[in-house]
Structure 1
Amino acid sequence: MAVQITITPNGRMSLPVEIRRRLGLTRGGALLVEETENGVILRTVTQSIAHAQALAEQYTGHNREASVDAFLARRLEESGE
């Protein structure tokens, strides 16, 4: 769904009430803004966490034992340092 909204000269914008309700933002809340080469993506914090988890799963090959520490240790070992 695409909706046109207006941004005021001081940078404020309002999301339509239907969208705020669907996102659970009826009493306000936080959105994370991601600028991409194709435009801007607005996500709730919950959506951002789910997105990050999906990316992590994609790059770890669904290996739940993968961690940043394990990755860095492998890279250090591969570099021979």
Structure 2
Amino acid sequence: MSQYRLSNIEVGKNYLAKELDSFVSTTDVVVLSNNESQLFTDPERQYKVTGAFDGFFEHSSNDGEKYFREKKAYIVEKV
């Protein structure tokens, strides 16, 4: 799968699931998909990157606090 290795993805562009799989495997990111848990089940399915954020808030179940995580997050939708 090394031929699909991406170092960056861009909002507005389409990518195959196998390309996103490689990107997620080699990059510290979060990917949110409207295809729920089936994002990587069909390697040839196309997804469009519809949004990107530099971080997000996460609730800690340990202390009940909310923390901002500086971690790139992408929103993808199946095409």
TM class by smaller structure: under 0.3
Which protein shows a greater Rg?
1
Task: State the TM-score, normalized to the length of structure 2.
Answer: 0.27
Higher helix share: 1
Quick check: which one's strand share is greater?
A: 2
